Amino acid sequence: MDLQLENKVVLVTGGSKGIGEGIVRSFAAEKATVVIVDRSSGETLCDELNAAGANVHWIQADLTDVDQCEEAVKKLLQDHGKLDVLVNNAGLNDSVSLASGVEKFAQSLKNNLTHYYAMAHFALDALKSSQGVIINIGSKVAETGQGGTSGYAASKGGSNALTREWAVELAPFGVRSNAVIPAEVMTPLYESWVATLENPEETLAGIRNSIPLGKRMTNKEELADMVVFLASPRSSHTTGQIVYVDGGYTHLDRKCTLR
């Protein structure tokens, strides 16, 4: 299937590793021009993909700094002249709990939600001009809770709400807004969390067994391919949707997930 993304300009926040890296790779495979905006270095990934004929670039920015968000969008538009797709992906589950206090909670929102709004705000005119697409990467935590992660859960709940709010606000301009929600995906951050556990292999086996479809974790390529499809003209009448790519983990009956 031709997803009609050749020469589209795509911005992916947090695109240097993990789920973001998978998204960058999938867009690059569709011959889009991809711009990674990340605090972490994207040079190695850019070099690898560009050596294979892709068109991938990196802008360094600390997304918790609103001024740097604005400058990143300005630089992208200076360099490429347009923006067709914004993928808000960057963030981390920072374990800010109800006991952590208001200051840490506010910082968690800044780490995980404020830059979603900031990037969309600064990209707004460009997205209207291109009749573009916003894709927000969320988390099942907004739906299920997790315990000990109030900041992240609130941020991802806010991301889902903004997805639908923007779908309404931007529909008159032909701009679509959707979200893709992972549940259990092996990323560098996930690996770091597993390494802190007393019995990591036993815990992972239990997690895999609780995923109805295939008793396995979702891979980042499966998430990325959904993002790319929703960003493409082949899903041109899809907006305001929150799509779970999770093997049925979040919503299926517990009798399926606990056997």
- The enclosing H or E element of 141 equals helix 141-144
Q: How many residues does the chain have?
A: 259
Give, in order, the Cα–Cα distances in Å from 119 to each of 72, 80, 90, 104: 9, 17, 11, 22
Q: Whose CA is closest to 11, among 66, 67, 64, 63?
A: 63
Q: Which of 116, 117, 152, 190 is flagged as catalytic?
A: 152
**Whether residue 190 lies in the annotated active site:** no
Give, in order, the Cα–Cα distances in Å from 213 to each of 186, 204, 205, 216: 16, 16, 14, 7
Give, in order, the Cα–Cα distances in Å from 48 to each of 28, 36, 105, 240: 11, 14, 38, 34
The two structure tokens encoding residue 112: 């995980």
Q: Whose CA is closest to 190, among 140, 134, 247, 259?
A: 140
**What positions carry a catalytic annotation?**
152
